[in-house]
Amino acid sequence: MKNQEFLNKAERLFPKLNKVTVYPVRTVRPENADGKYVAVETGSYTEEKLSTGDSVVLDFGDHETGFFTAHFGSAGAHPDAPVWIRVRFAERLSEFFEDAAEYKGWISKAWIQETQAHLDILPCEISFPRRYAFRYVKIEVLDCSSRFKLTVEDASATAVSSADDSSILTYSCKDPEMEPLDRIAARTLHECMQTVFEDGPKRDRRLWMGDLRLEALTNYETYQANGLVKEGLYLFAGDTDDDGRVASNLFIEPSIEADDVYMFDYSLFFTTTLRDYYVNTKDKETLLELYETAIKQVELSEERLGADGVVKDSDMMGWCFVDWNLGLNKQASAHGIYLYALLAAADLASYMGEKEKEDEYRKRHVSGVQAVRKALYDPEKGVFVSGSSRQISFASQCWLILGKALSDKEGRSALESVESLSDAEGMVTPYMYHHYIQALIDVGLEDKAKDVMKEYWGGMVSDGADTFFELYRPGHPNESPYGGTIVNSYCHAWSCAPAYFIRKYEW
Ligand code: RAM
């Protein structure tokens, strides 16, 4: 159901993209030393003379999102045949050790960042038309006549982002170990700030509700591009299903269109994201216009409550997202998210001056807490279980803490217990870790939250991260829900949590 007025309003908020020309800072040879990837500096790429099978790797020194241009020449006899090249773009060095032909996963291999070109006449300049996300660019010669060699005379990229680095709030970390985490998180967000808050500039390059929520939170502490949050909210409200349900994600081009994928949690995050937006901006006009859509998500979510008042479980993949752990049962987390959204709805009603509605949502929250404690709380173990298999997971504890279904003391013991249970389902994304950090803070374990952040996000830094990854499970480098890490994204804004927590809690 399109609301053209909302969509027009959103489009008027589309930001201008800043364009910066960037150049490789050095030429490198990637090496894989037992799963540790290192870039060995070599001579300058302009000095290389490339024959069939040769390659050169350009290092731009940081993660960039943009358009690559190279100027090619030749050495030796006059070129008597075209040169056939492959160009690969990598966010991390590890990507060069993967073979696109071996990827057999369930999402399209068209996401893989590589292309081929024939250079018919030399010298020539090629501007590659696709936008890529990369730090490294590898140019490989697939075939070149033996009478001459290929040279790369010049290379550059036009980097694009709507983030304005001069507007980022300055912050000096109290704990120096937090500094790289804050900086890399801000860079991650910067790269994802395009016409919309993209989830990742490599993949899926579009607006997802769950990602928007966390990007918005970090944005309030950093770039304060609040128009981009407002734009995202109007886009989601401008293309719902016929019942008024907010989609999980939207395609932006060639024109705005909601994906036909609806997820229980992502729809509810519209409500909580509008609450956060209002708290941070006090933009009453947007609140007034989007309030109905926000409230609607809570009403629709209640269709999923069972006779016992608890969100019903489902076997359908993706009915509720929570995390990319494919073994995770989502029921308890979904109920926690429902409770969390009820509190946001109550807040929104109070900002609207609707006292009765506010009380009503708070009452429903109390009943929702009672219902889930009765159905899914195991008082002996001190944890929530989920689904008919009564699965115990970090996600269930975190979300029911965030939904205020436990006292702080109970929350602390739930998090301690789940950590001590070796068979508890863990977390595989920085997205879920964001919620774990928040849950630790909420129950009064702020020091532990800092340690977890240093260890988890610091682990990505030790693995050479210039931006934070979509998926990260320490000790499991091959983690991918897609059937191959070659399509994983290594700059994913749902992982920019450090810049949010460090600044908000003054770490
Ligand atoms: C991934 C997307 C996005 C996320 C969804 C659920 O495919 O990249 O970040 O929100 O999953």
Minimum CA distance residue for ligand 1 atom 6: 321
Minimum CA distance residue for ligand 1 atom 5: 208
- How much is the average pLDDT of 13-32? 97
Average of per-residue pLDDT values in the chain: 97
pLDDT at 506: 98
Residue closest to 433 by CA, chosen among 325, 331, 285: 325
Q: What's the full length of the chain, in residues?
A: 507
- How much is the average pLDDT of 21-26? 98
Residues 292, 352 contacting (CB under 8 angstroms): no
Measured from the CA of 200, which atom of ligand 1 is nearest? Answer: 8
Residues 6+ apart with CB under 8 A from 476: 428
Measured from the CA of 208, which atom of ligand 1 is nearest? Answer: 10
pLDDT at 35: 84
Residue closest to 488 by CA, chosen among 416, 429, 412: 429
pLDDT at 345: 98
Ligand 1 mean position to 339 CA, how many Å?
23
The pair phi, psi for residue 388, each rounded to 5°, is -70, -25
pLDDT digits (tens, 9 = 90+) for 174-219: 999 999 999 999 999 999 999 999 999 999 999 999 999 999 999 9
Pairwise CA distance, residues 53 & 50, whole Å? 8
Q: Hey, how many other C-beta atoms are within 10 angstroms of the C-beta on 164?
A: 15
Count Cβ neighbours within 10 Å for each residue of 177-213 and write b for 16 or more, e otherwise: ebeebbebbbbbbbbbbbbbbbbbbbbbbbbbbbbbb
- Confidence bin at 34 (pLDDT 50/70/90): confident
CA distances to 223, 270, 277 from 284, in Å:
21, 16, 10
Count Cβ neighbours within 10 Å for each residue of 335-359 and write b for 16 or more, e otherwise: bbbbbbbbbbbbbbbebbebeebbe
pLDDT digits (tens, 9 = 90+) for 386-425: 999 999 999 999 999 999 999 999 999 999 999 999 999 9
Measured from the CA of 494, which atom of ligand 1 is nearest? Answer: 9
Q: Hey, how many other C-beta atoms are within 10 angstroms of the C-beta on 370?
A: 12
Structure-block tokens of residue 457: 């996000």
**321: three-class secondary structure by DSSP:** coil
- How much is the average pLDDT of 59-72? 98
Structure-block tokens of residue 302: 């209640």
- How much is the average pLDDT of 65-91? 98
Q: Evaluate if pTM is beyond 0.95.
A: yes
Pairwise CA distance, residues 188 & 215, whole Å? 10
Ligand 1 mean position to 410 CA, how many Å?
32
pLDDT digits (tens, 9 = 90+) for 448-473: 999 999 999 999 999 999 999 999 99
pLDDT digits (tens, 9 = 90+) for 304-358: 999 999 999 999 999 999 999 999 999 999 999 999 999 999 999 999 999 999 9
The pair phi, psi for residue 223, each rounded to 5°, is -80, -25
> Helices in 193-282 by DSSP H: which ranges?
209-221, 226-238, 264-281
Q: What residue spans define the domains of the chain?
A: 18-161, 264-320+326-426
Residue whose structure tokens are 């364009």 = 19
Pocket test for ligand 1, best of 199, 269, 471 (most atoms within 8 A of CB): 199
Ligand 1 mean position to 208 CA, how many Å?
7
Residue closest to 191 by CA, chosen among 8, 322, 35, 60: 60
Pocket test for ligand 1, best of 203, 206, 209, 211 (most atoms within 8 A of CB): 211
CATH number for the segment(s) 264-320+326-426: 1.50.10.10
pLDDT at 22: 98
Structure-block tokens of residue 167: 């507007």
Pairwise CA distance, residues 222 & 220, whole Å? 6
pLDDT digits (tens, 9 = 90+) for 244-284: 999 999 999 999 999 999 999 999 999 999 999 999 999 99
Give percent of the chain above pLDDT 90: 99
The alpha carbon of 417 is separated from its chain's Cα centroid by a whole number of angstroms, namely: 29
Pocket test for ligand 1, best of 206, 208, 324 (most atoms within 8 A of CB): 208
Ligand 1 pocket (Cβ < 6 Å) reads 199-200, 204, 208, 210-211, 321, 494
Pocket test for ligand 1, best of 107, 204, 261, 431 (most atoms within 8 A of CB): 204
pLDDT at 171: 96
Ligand 1 mean position to 199 CA, how many Å?
7
- Confidence bin at 87 (pLDDT 50/70/90): very high
Q: Hey, how many other C-beta atoms are within 10 angstroms of the C-beta on 415?
A: 22
Residue whose structure tokens are 């990507």 = 95
* 207: β partners: 250
Measured from the CA of 211, which atom of ligand 1 is nearest? Answer: 10
CATH number for the segment(s) 18-161: 2.60.120.260
Cα dihedral sign, 204-208-210-215: positive
Give percent of the chain above pLDDT 70: 100
Minimum CA distance residue for ligand 1 atom 1: 204
The alpha carbon of 487 is separated from its chain's Cα centroid by a whole number of angstroms, namely: 14
